[in-house]
Amino acid sequence: MAVCYQSSFSTFPSTDLSKPNISLSTNFRCNLSFPSSKTLITEPEPLFTLVKSFAPATVANLGPGFDFLGCAVDGIGDFVTLRVDKDVHPGEISISDIHGVGNSAKKLSKNPLWNCAGIAAIAVMKMLNIRSVGLSLSLEKGLPLGSGLGSSAASAAAAAVAVNEIFGGQLSVSDLVLAGLESESKVSGYHADNVAPAIMGGFVLIRSYDPLELIQLPFPEEKELFFVLVNPEFEAPTKKMRAALPTEITMSHHVWNCSQAAALVASVLQGDLRGLGTALSSDKIVEPRRAPLIPGMEGVKKAAIEAGAFGCTISGAGPTAVAVTDDEEKGRDIGVRMVEAFMEDGNLKASAMVKRLDRVGARLVSSIPRGQMSSESLFDSNTHKAIRQMTWCAYSLSLDVAMAS
Amino acid sequence: MAVCYQSSFSTFPSTDLSKPNISLSTNFRCNLSFPSSKTLITEPEPLFTLVKSFAPATVANLGPGFDFLGCAVDGIGDFVTLRVDKDVHPGEISISDIHGVGNSAKKLSKNPLWNCAGIAAIAVMKMLNIRSVGLSLSLEKGLPLGSGLGSSAASAAAAAVAVNEIFGGQLSVSDLVLAGLESESKVSGYHADNVAPAIMGGFVLIRSYDPLELIQLPFPEEKELFFVLVNPEFEAPTKKMRAALPTEITMSHHVWNCSQAAALVASVLQGDLRGLGTALSSDKIVEPRRAPLIPGMEGVKKAAIEAGAFGCTISGAGPTAVAVTDDEEKGRDIGVRMVEAFMEDGNLKASAMVKRLDRVGARLVSSIPRGQMSSESLFDSNTHKAIRQMTWCAYSLSLDVAMAS
């Protein structure tokens, strides 16, 4: 039997009742506190009986951007199917099933309080003040756990977006990131460098947490950017990876990494892939401590660069290695070389994939409007949302095919 | 009598014989070594008998951009007048006179080997392999010494550009920055965060020194950016300012400053003045150590923000305080408040000025073509350079007026 959790306090206000458009040049600011002066949200009715959402994998840190930079990767991630469920007590959520790659289904709890998707879903239900509707959630893991690809963040992001959209999408991007952060803080630490890009897409800079300020860094539309993601069969020793971080940093290393992070941001905004790659490879603080803990990583990085990648580093806390290139075919060759290097230098089996930059972030991929509401009436009553929904549905067709292949 | 210095070794090659256009989105790379495989430069003839150049003041560090970010400030800087002088031994340079604000003329050496302008001029003469022409240089200081406004860098930049242009402008921007760096390293340390923006204009990120890699960060043309520069009558204790720097930095401060520097770069490129100001004010590593050494600085910063500045910090190593705004008139009000705060909190007299971002960098402001060469023949033989020269001359008219006022 699924474990439920009652989401609604008597009157839980939203952190930010306005919903800014998702603009690529917008800075998102959201105060973490809940000032009493804010208008309390009226509980919204569900617009759909079922929604299915997708949230992409993410690469955090990006070398010198440790703990404040991340980006989303297209075509690989987690799905959440969320339905209005009369068998679930109003104001509560239940996780009905978890399935997907590897042993994630076995390892993940169905208790929403102990599940990334569940925690984020509850946080959004609180923000929306949901008291009258019960929900059940099905989680489909496309990402392996502990791979360094933002697995927990993808689940949280997909769940947050699903809950928000089933009730008409009233919350802002900042709110959704805050809900995701609530989840991340319980499973992997209070950092948004996975969950923010998982929700927003593209490259995101976490400028501050209190208040939460996120800067979206648009990579030029006309330019191609591919990530070569090589995941070895190796469980990164999380405690060791964290313990490996230095507590003190020399001034010269600080200035170096700082300038490389700044250069990385400039390269992203200017569409300079060579510059981006150089910055990605340049970390002198975290990567040199963590790479030796992943067998073969140093050789893998060398192999990627020799094979023509613009740059290479550890994705998140590893063990996945990430390299960047501007050509999908070349990306495959780079991937082959990196897989070989993992075997030669680290005696580890590994698999490679080449994925585009995800520029969209978490989104609906399909939905069923409530019984009494036809497609026409939905369109008439809420043109903007209907168009958005149609776009997402169209997008989902190709995405679902890609994910199934 | 002026002290001369023989510039030319037997065959001193240029570091880079190609001269790329100064493009706002270009990354400049230049190897500091002089590989023997490079073609040696043929000694160029002077195109002018006299040139006058200007290089702007600069604000280095910009808060979290310590040691790798700087920008140029319009309408205040140093002038160099350079002439072909038959009384100076071929291949040598002489400093004929130094005049300008404060006691700079008394404090600065006329020995080119000990003068910022002289050292940079010699470096450029070396790069151009000048052996047959003697030069004399007159330096007009528009910037006070030790103010934190890049006084030495402005002299070096003006001299480097003057020597390059009198011989037809064959060197690249990177070469000129390298020449300026040679000067800076002898007077204030091997850092390019003043001299690079003094030469290139706008915001410049120093990505690395070996090889030298500079990233120009164009601030959107359509946006206004004003600097309020408030210079107190106070000599910053250079040794103390340097000694105040921490040698070790905590991980959390590193991540904070790194993300702020990255946000600053994003704000510049996206033309987000509010974001730029916030980042400027955000340094947790250098400013907190240095500000207490400048009487009143903390109060001045507070006063600037209260008066509506987007942000405020120490310019370079101080003692000048710099604030940013988008409105000249508001800038004047902010300046008044900052001057008052220097008196109230630090018992220091101070003067304020409001200046635009300089987007051009060091340039010729006037020139006299060689006697036998008419304007027409110069135009015919070298259209591009003639047009550039005319543009600069036109520019100089307004600039000279502005500087004289």
User: Model confidence over B238-282: pLDDT tens digits?
Assistant: 778 888 999 999 999 999 999 999 999 999 999 999 999 999 999
CA-to-CA dists, residue B103 to B40, B99, B108, angstroms: 42, 9, 9
What's the mean per-residue pLDDT of chain B? 84
Buried (b) or exposed (e) across A291-328, using 16+ Cβ within 10 A? Answer: bebbbbbbbbbebbbebebbbbbbbbbbbbbbbbbbee
Cβ separation of A269 and B270 shorter than 8 Å?
Answer: yes
Contact (Cβ atoms closer than 8 angstroms) between residue B86 and residue B117: no
Task: Select from B340, B356, B372 the last residue of a domain.
Answer: B356
Catalytic residue at B184? yes
Q: Which of A44, A259, A7, A251 is nearest to B207 (CA)?
A: A259
Identify which has the larger pLDDT, A25 or A334. A334
CA-to-CA dists, residue A254 to A66, A194, B188, B374, angstroms: 12, 23, 21, 55
Q: Which of A317, A35, A354 is nearest to A184 (CA)?
A: A317
Please give the pLDDT value at position A220.
97
Q: Are residues A160 and A191 in the same domain?
A: yes
Nearest chain B residue to A270 by CA distance is B25
Q: Are residues A261 and A336 in the same domain?
A: yes
Residue A393 has pLDDT above 50, yes or no: no
* Range scoring the smallest mean pLDDT among A180-194, A230-244, B310-324: A230-244
Q: Are residues A119 and A231 in the same domain?
A: no
Q: Are residues A141 and A181 in the same domain?
A: yes
Identify which has the larger pLDDT, A318 or A31. A318
Please give the pLDDT value at position B376.
35
Q: Which of B206, B325, B219 is nearest to B266 (CA)?
A: B219
Tell me the C-alpha distance between B261 and B259, whole Å. 5
Render pLDDT for A144-184 as a digit per residue (tens, 0 to 9): 888 999 999 999 999 999 999 999 999 999 999 999 999 99
Tell me the C-alpha distance between B322 and B147, whole Å. 11
Which parts of A10-85 are beta strand (E)?
27-30, 48-60, 69-84
CB contacts of A212 in chain B (<8 Å) are none
Please give the pLDDT value at position B250.
97
With a pLDDT cut of 70, the percent of chain A lying above it is: 81
Cβ separation of A259 and B217 shorter than 8 Å?
Answer: no
Indicate the pLDDT class of residue A107, thresholds 50, 70 and 90: confident
Residue A76 has pLDDT above 50, yes or no: yes
Contact (Cβ atoms closer than 8 angstroms) between residue A160 and residue A361: no
Q: What value does the mean pLDDT take over residues B319-344?
A: 98
- Any idea what the CATH number is for the domain that residue A285 is in? 3.30.70.890
- Spatial neighbors of A237 by CB under 8 A, at least 6 apart, are A293
The secondary structure of residue B357, as a DSSP letter, is: B
The secondary structure of residue A113, as a DSSP letter, is: G
Q: Are residues B351 and B367 in the same domain?
A: no
CB contacts of A261 in chain B (<8 Å) are 258-259, 261-262
Render pLDDT for B341-364 as a digit per residue (tens, 0 to 9): 999 999 999 999 999 999 999 999
- Which residue matches tokens 């439920």? A4
- Selected for mutation to probe chain A from B204, B209, B251, B252 (highest A CB count within 10 Å) is B251
Cβ separation of A260 and B215 shorter than 8 Å?
Answer: no
Helix (H) or strand (E) holding A238: helix A238-243
Identify which has the larger pLDDT, B5 or A119. A119
Nearest chain B residue to A217 by CA distance is B266
Give how far B131 is from chain A: nearest CA, Å: 39
Residue B197 has pLDDT above 70, yes or no: yes
Tell me the C-alpha distance between A274 and A264, whole Å. 10
Give backbone dihedrals phi and psi of A232, rounded to 5 degrees, phi first: -80, 155
Tell me the C-alpha distance between B11 and A399, whole Å. 63
Indicate the pLDDT class of residue B27, thresholds 50, 70 and 90: low
Cβ separation of B248 and A245 shorter than 8 Å?
Answer: no
CB contacts of A311 in chain B (<8 Å) are none
Render pLDDT for B127-153 as a digit per residue (tens, 0 to 9): 999 999 999 999 999 998 889 999 999
Q: Are residues A33 and A112 in the same domain?
A: yes
Nearest CB among A250, A259, A275 relative to B248 is that of A250
Residue B381 has pLDDT above 60, yes or no: no
Please give the pLDDT value at position B35.
33
Catalytic residue at B11? no
Give residue ranges of A with CB < 8 Å to any B CB: 25, 27, 64-69, 205-208, 215, 217, 245-251, 254-255, 257-266, 269-270, 272, 275, 285
Q: Are residues A76 and A86 in the same domain?
A: yes
Please give the pLDDT value at position A148.
93
Q: Are residues B283 and B399 in the same domain?
A: no
Q: Are strands B48-60 and B363-369 parallel, antiparallel or unpaired?
A: antiparallel
Please give the pLDDT value at position A27.
53
Tell me the C-alpha distance between A211 and A32, whole Å. 6
Cβ separation of A205 and B254 shorter than 8 Å?
Answer: no
- Which residue matches tokens 């490389």? A260
Distance of CA A389 to the CA centre of its chain: 20
Overall size of chain A counted in residues: 405
Cβ separation of A69 and B262 shorter than 8 Å?
Answer: yes
Please give the pLDDT value at position A379.
33
Domain that holds residue A302: 226-356
Residue A96 has pLDDT above 90, yes or no: yes
Tell me the C-alpha distance between B185 and B75, whole Å. 26
Q: Are residues B285 and B396 in the same domain?
A: no
Q: What value does the mean pLDDT take over residues B7-18?
A: 31
User: Hey, what are B379's tokens?
Assistant: 């135009």
Contact (Cβ atoms closer than 8 angstroms) between residue A126 and residue A12: yes
Identify which has the larger pLDDT, B115 or B375. B115
Q: Is the dihedral of CA B234, B235, B237, B242 positive or negative?
A: positive
Q: Are residues B208 and B244 in the same domain?
A: no
Which parts of A194-282 are beta strand (E)?
203-209, 212-217, 226-232, 248-250
Q: Are residues B193 and B274 in the same domain?
A: no
Q: What is the CA radius of gyration of chain A?
A: 21
Q: Are residues B369 and B244 in the same domain?
A: no
CB contacts of A208 in chain B (<8 Å) are 259
CB contacts of B211 in chain A (<8 Å) are none
User: Hey, what are B265's tokens?
Assistant: 């770069």
Identify which has the larger pLDDT, B96 or A11. B96
Tell me the C-alpha distance between A165 and A162, whole Å. 5
CB contacts of A64 in chain B (<8 Å) are 258
Please give the pLDDT value at position A338.
98
Tell me the C-alpha distance between B298 and B338, whole Å. 10
Residue A55 has pLDDT above 90, yes or no: yes
ipTM confidence: 0.84
- Any idea what the CATH number is for the domain that residue A380 is in? 3.30.230.10
Please give the pLDDT value at position A81.
98
Distance of CA B24 to the CA centre of its chain: 17
Residue A25 has pLDDT above 70, yes or no: no
Indicate the pLDDT class of residue A397, thresholds 50, 70 and 90: very low
Buried (b) or exposed (e) across A159-183, using 16+ Cβ within 10 A? Answer: bbbbbbbbbebbbbbbbbbbbbbbb
Helix (H) or strand (E) holding B124: helix B116-128
Please give the pLDDT value at position B297.
97
Query: Which of the following is catalytic: B92, B140, B184, B287?
Result: B184
Q: Which of B81, B77, B351 is nearest to B228 (CA)?
A: B351
How many structural domains compose chain A?
2
Give backbone dihedrals phi and psi of B96, rounded to 5 degrees, phi first: -80, -40
Give how far B271 is from chain A: nearest CA, Å: 10
The secondary structure of residue B365, as a DSSP letter, is: E
Indicate the pLDDT class of residue B83, thresholds 50, 70 and 90: very high
Nearest chain B residue to A275 by CA distance is B27
